[in-house]
Amino acid sequence: MQQASIILDPDFRIGEIDPRLYGSFIEHLGRAVYGGIFEPGHSTSNQQGFRGDVLDLVRELDVPIVRYPGGNFVSGYNWEDGVGPREERPTRLDLAWKTTEMNQFGTNEFAAWCRAAGTGLMMAVNLGARGIDAARNLVEYCNHPAGTAWSDLRIAHGVAEPQAIKTWCLGNEMDGPWQIGQKTAHEYGRLASEAAKVMKLVDPSIELVACGSSNTQMPTYPQWEETVLDHLYEQVDYISLHTYYRLENDDLGTFLAQSMDMDEYIHTVVSVCDYVQLKKRSKKQLMLSFDEWNVWYHARETDKLLMRDDPWQEAPPIAEEHYSMADALLVGSMLITLLRHADRVKIACVAQLVNALAPIMTETGGSAWRQTIFYPFLHASRYGRGISLNVKVTSPCYDTKEFGPVPLLDAMATIDEDQQTAIIFAVNRSQTGALELTGDLRGLNGYQVIEHLVLDHANPAAMNTADAPDEVTPTKQNAATVKSGHLATVLPKLSWNVIRLQKTPVNLSLS
C-alpha cells in the first residue's frame, strides 16, 4: 500500500472562508426552472408552484447564494417580461438555448423561492442585447423602497418590501462569440463602467461582479481581465471566473488532475488583479467570484442535436449531466481548490443547482434525487467553514502528458475555532489501490476523530438514477485514529474523504 502524509497546523492560515463559496446557479436553461425548482401541480409543490422535494434537497445543501437568471440566457432577456400578472407576460424565443421561454417564472418568483430555500440572490443584468437603462431600472424595481415608477410597479405586482438584492453581475461571458451582444474588452469595460455607476447611484449598498474571461482557452485571456479592470477596477468588488471540465479519451488520470488547471487559473487572475491594483495605486484588493464551475461532457453532443433538430421546445432536457463517481471525485478536488484560495475567492457557484449540470435531478411530475456530486458539495458546505489552512501534502505521484507528475493525494483542511472543529478533505486519485495516510496535527492538541466519511464505488462510472438513487452514497469508516497528535487512516482507491476532528474536553479532577 502506498503512503502519503499531511502536516496540519492551525497557525498556517490562508484566510477566512466566505459562506458564499458554496453558492450555486439557476439559469433559464432546460429544466432548471420549469420542472426543476418550479412545477405547479406537482404532488410536493406549494401554492407558489415551488417543488417541496427540491426545496428540501437545496436546504440540505445549505446553499448561501444562487446566481440568476443566467448565464447565456441573460444576454437576451428582458427582465420586464418576467414580472406582473402571469397571464399578461409574453412568450419569447430564447436565442441562447434555442428554446421557447414562457416567462411564467421571473424575478419576484425567484426572490420568493430564495426565501423559501433559505438562500440569497445574486442577480445578473443584461449587458448583451440591453444596457445601462435596463440595469438601473431593475435595481430600482428590486431595491428601492417606494415612491418611484419602478419601485411602485413592484409594489403593484404584490411585493411590498424591497428585495434588497446585494450582489449583481454585470452581464455574462461578454467575450464569447456565442453570446448575444459579444463585445471587445474595451467595449465591455466602458459599458460595464457606466452601468456600475448608475446602478450604485440607485443603490450605493450593492456590490458588483465584472465579467472575466469565459474560460482560459479564450484567445484574449488574460488580457481581457487587464483591459476590463483598467476601466472599472474601483467600481467593482469581484471579477468572475468560469470553467467546466470533461473526460476525454477515457483518460481518467488526466481527468482527475484538471483541478490543477483550476488552481493555475485562479493564480493567473489574482496576479492580473494585483497588477491593475498596483498600476492604479489603489488601496482596494479585488476579490474573485468563481460563479460557474462544474464537470460538463456527458450531454454536450446530445444537446447539440436536440437544439439543431428540434428547436424551440419549452423546457427541453438540455445539459442534463448524469454524474458518475469519477465526476464526484473531480468536483471534490475543485472544492478543495476553492478552499485553497479562500483568501481571494469569496463567491463560487456550482453550475447549476437542479437538472441542468446539477447535483439535484428530478423527473417532471415524479421524484427528485441526489446525484453523485451532491455529496462532496454537501460535505464542503456543511463542514468547510471557518478558516482555510495551508496543508503540507507529501504524496506519491502518477504521470500525465498534460500536467506532468500529479499527486495521488489532494487534500485541504479547515478549522472552526468557535466550534473547536477541524476538517480534512481528501481525494485519493489512485486507480490501483488505497493510500495509507498519516498526519502531523501539530497545534491541534486534544483533537480526536469523530467521523470519517468516504464516498467511493467499485465502478468509477457508477451513477445515481431515479431507479437507483442510492447507488453511490457516503459511508462511515472506522479506521481513522489520532494518537499523540498524529493521524492515521486509510483512503480507499478513487475516493472522496471527510475526516472530522473535534477537540475533546479536558477532564479535571479535584484531589
Q: Which residues are catalytic?
A: 173, 292
Residue with cell 485519493: 428
Cα dihedral 456, 460, 463, 467 in deg (nearest 10): -80
Question: What would the grid cell of residue 56 be?
Answer: 428540501
Report d(CA 84, CA 290) in Å as an integer: 32
Local structure of 95: helix, strand or coil: coil
Helices (H), 22-67: 52-61
Q: Give Cβ neighbours of residue 317 (< 8 Å, ≥ 6 apart).
A: 30, 31, 306, 355
Report d(CA 413, CA 10) in Å as an integer: 9
With CA atoms as reference, report the closest residue to 180 among 116, 66, 94, 250: 94
With CA atoms as reference, report the closest residue to 330 among 182, 204, 429: 429
Residue with cell 497545534: 443
Report d(CA 214, CA 220) in Å as an integer: 10
Cα–Cα distances (Å) from 433 to 478, 480, 493, in that order, read 18, 17, 5
Local structure of 159: helix, strand or coil: coil
